[in-house]
Amino acid sequence: MQNDFAHEVANQRQTDPDLAVSARELTKRFGRFTAVDGISFDVRRGEIFGFLGANGAGKTTAIRMFCGLLPPTAGEAQVAGYDVRTQPRMIKQTIGYMSQKFSLYEDLTVAQNIEFYGGIYGLTRPQIEHKTGLLLDELNLRDRRDTLTQSLPLGWKQRLALSVSLLHDPSIIFLDEPTGGVDPISRRNFWRIIYEIADSGKTVFVTTHYMDEAEYCGRLSIMYQGRIIEIGTPGGLKEKYGLDTMQDIFVHLVGGDTRKEAKQ
Amino acid sequence: MKPLVSVEHFSKSYGEIRAVRDLSFSVRRGELFGLIGPDGAGKTTTMRTLVTLLRPDEGTVTVDGMDVRKQLKAIRAITGYMPQRFSLYPDLSVEQNLRFFAELFSVPRNELTDRMQRLYRFSRLEEFSTRLAGRLSGGMKQKLALSCTLIHDPVLLVLDEPTTGVDPVSRSEFWEILRELREQGVTIVVSTPYMDEAMKCDRIVIMHSGVALAHGTPGELINSMRLPMYALDERDLVMNFSRIEAASGVRSVQSFGDSLHITTDEDIDEDRLSAALEQTLDRPVRLRRIAPSLEDVFIALIEQGTEHAE
């Protein structure tokens, strides 16, 4: 009964261009272990959505389904209007992914990284050259074009990684702990760009362990043992629980149970 | 009483890179002391010097009155150091790892059972004592590493970003343990890039690019800054960001999900700010006065630092 409902809602969603991500009873099991246990939520176009959870909560599995890398066991999900089960290739072309740690090749130069990723994303050579010029200007990196990426300051690397993940003009961008360990000024500058990206209509989907990153999101979900146990705006959640920080809320909701998790 | 750790005009370079410049601070006995700063601040260099793994280029660094240049062995005997990547033996069990480190630090056999019981009590790892270290969760690995660091009963515990990459719940548990250790009289020097963790320290030194920007208790630092801050609930964050930034008396603006945090010049009061914003945005606004966070203080300090440099 509930499943029928999920189907209907899902089919109807397909035509709603304002939804970037839509999950209905999305489930993934590995053998007898249920990693993602019937999660349902929507992310609207242009939202900055934080996807939080402790280790082993099922975040990574859910993200891999959203990116079309892992088919669901049950339930539905659409990303940019494409079905994760039947249209994973379309999804891969429509999404961008950035992780502070893994995105760039440290032993390639700035220009080579742009060229490399441009190639991966299927841009033509003239397109790559055009984009390279634009990016170098935009990031003020023209002088550093032939500098090895590893010698860039962390804040710049992060900006470059973000730009590279946007090369193919994705409509949704997944950010994995984008500003961990970065100094607060670089972090704030980075988030200012993220707000501009979201304002231009792209959807930003953030996974993070860092609760100070979570504070920047427009809306947040908290996953625990495969389920979404809370969802709302940072301000709304703080009011609801009478707590001052997302860290306190997270610990309040998920805390005191890590021993159970470890025993599994 | 003399401080347990004393760092005076300490500098250290690697070739051309000046990792730490003229750093001075001291850590009292029984204190939970934080080195706070982002990557590249010089935290690790400072900690490695404290535990005698690096020699200072300039300045004097002492632990319990002993010089880190000269009394390496004696210092190592009373310090426990947990580097960012602590090497546990993944194919040994929890208990075997503890016994191995006990052996390494020549812990007397007859004391070992007692110590392990005590370490198990706070780490709550006893029920996992036979599990291979490689199969522990991230948070549990950190607790085991901490236990191994404590096995020889050090007077001074030096922890380099012990919670980086650890999930928020395990982080908060880890800090509970640090507080327990402090209650037992252990002096702790811990580094972290997280401002919420900095708030849990007795005293901190804020570092950036090898230089100390300020030290004191977190509360002192926040109060000393006199940063008037206001929150404005605002839906059109990006659209109005630059306009608000340009309003008179506004020093900086920061977006946070569904609100903007506005820092003003010291002489601007709430009425003047809201008048300025109402004029800019052409509608009534409702401001909430908010307390600056340690991160706001940090940013203000960095900005001051660059102003001085220029």
Partner-chain contact B258 A56, CB within 8 Å = no
A43 and A87, same domain (yes or no): yes
Provide the number of structural domains found in chain A: 2
Partner-chain contact A258 B173, CB within 8 Å = yes
B199 and B116, same domain (yes or no): yes
B176 and B277, same domain (yes or no): no
Last residue of a domain, one of B175, B191, B222: B222
A100 and A226, same domain (yes or no): yes
The reported pLDDT for the residue numbered B286 is: 86
Provide the number of structural domains found in chain B: 2
Quote the minimal CA–CA distance from A200 to chain B in Å.
10
A61 and A97, same domain (yes or no): yes
Last residue of a domain, one of A147, A171, A201: A147
The reported pLDDT for the residue numbered A60 is: 87
- Is B190 within the bounds of a domain? yes
Stretch 57-96 of chain B: residues touching chain A, C-beta under 8 Å: none
For the record, the structure tokens of B110 come out as 């007859």
| Closest chain A residue by Cα to residue B239 | A199
A133 and A206, same domain (yes or no): no
B53 and B164, same domain (yes or no): yes
Domain that holds residue B263: 228-291
Quote the minimal CA–CA distance from B79 to chain A in Å.
26
For the record, the structure tokens of B86 come out as 């602590």
Residue-averaged pLDDT of chain B = 90
Domain that holds residue A112: 108-147
| B164 neighbourhood in chain A, CB within 8 Å | 180-181
Partner-chain contact A212 B164, CB within 8 Å = no
- Cα distance between residue B24 and residue B205, in whole Å: 9
* ipTM of the shown complex: 0.71
B163 and B214, same domain (yes or no): yes
B203 and B250, same domain (yes or no): no
Last residue of a domain, one of B222, B251, B272: B222
| B140 neighbourhood in chain A, CB within 8 Å | 258, 262
The reported pLDDT for the residue numbered B255 is: 81
Between B38, B195, B238, which is nearest A182 by CB? B38
| Chain A contact for B208 (CB, 8 A cutoff) | yes
Among candidate residues A68, A250, A253, the one with its CA nearest the CA of residue A172: A68
B252 and B130, same domain (yes or no): no
| Closest chain A residue by Cα to residue B296 | A184
A138 and A156, same domain (yes or no): no
Between A188, A215, A251, which is nearest B169 by CB? A251
| Closest chain A residue by Cα to residue B125 | A259
A195 and A258, same domain (yes or no): yes
B64 and B196, same domain (yes or no): yes
A117 and A199, same domain (yes or no): no
Report the first-to-last Cα separation within chain B, whole angstroms.
41
A162 and A190, same domain (yes or no): yes
pLDDT in tens, chain B (310 residues): 789 999 999 999 999 899 999 999 999 999 999 999 888 899 999 999 999 999 999 999 999 999 999 999 999 999 999 998 888 999 999 999 999 999 999 999 899 999 999 899 888 899 999 999 999 988 899 999 999 999 999 999 999 999 887 888 888 889 999 999 999 999 999 999 888 899 999 999 999 999 999 999 999 999 887 778 898 887 666 667 888 888 888 888 888 877 888 988 888 888 889 888 888 888 888 888 888 888 888 888 887 766 544 3
Let me know if B105 is exposed, middle or buried by CB neighbors in 10 A (0-12, 13-18, 19+).
middle
- Cα distance between residue B174 and residue B143, in whole Å: 7
Between B39, B208, B238, which is nearest A181 by CB? B39
B33 and B107, same domain (yes or no): yes
Phi, psi of B231 (to 5 degrees): -105, 140
Partner-chain contact A181 B37, CB within 8 Å = no
Mean pLDDT of successive 10-residue stretches along chain A, which has 264 residues: 50 68 96 95 94 86 92 96 93 87 85 92 91 88 90 85 91 88 81 89 90 89 94 92 90 67 41
Between B168, B173, B302, which is nearest A211 by CB? B168
Partner-chain contact A183 B259, CB within 8 Å = no
A195 and A176, same domain (yes or no): yes
Last residue of a domain, one of A97, A117, A147: A147
The reported pLDDT for the residue numbered B307 is: 52
Number of alpha helices (DSSP H) and beta strands (DSSP E) in chain A: 11, 10
Residue B181's CATH number: 3.40.50.300
Partner-chain contact B128 A262, CB within 8 Å = yes
A76 and A26, same domain (yes or no): yes
- Cα distance between residue B295 and residue B172, in whole Å: 19
Residue A57's CATH number: 3.40.50.300
Residue with tokens 């550093």: A144
- Is B304 within the bounds of a domain? no
Partner-chain contact A251 B259, CB within 8 Å = no
Quote the minimal CA–CA distance from B102 to chain A in Å.
25
Quote the minimal CA–CA distance from A100 to chain B in Å.
13
Among candidate residues A54, A59, A56, the one with its CA nearest the CA of residue A23: A59
Cα B14 to Cα A149, B26, B116, B213: the distances in Å are 20, 24, 39, 21
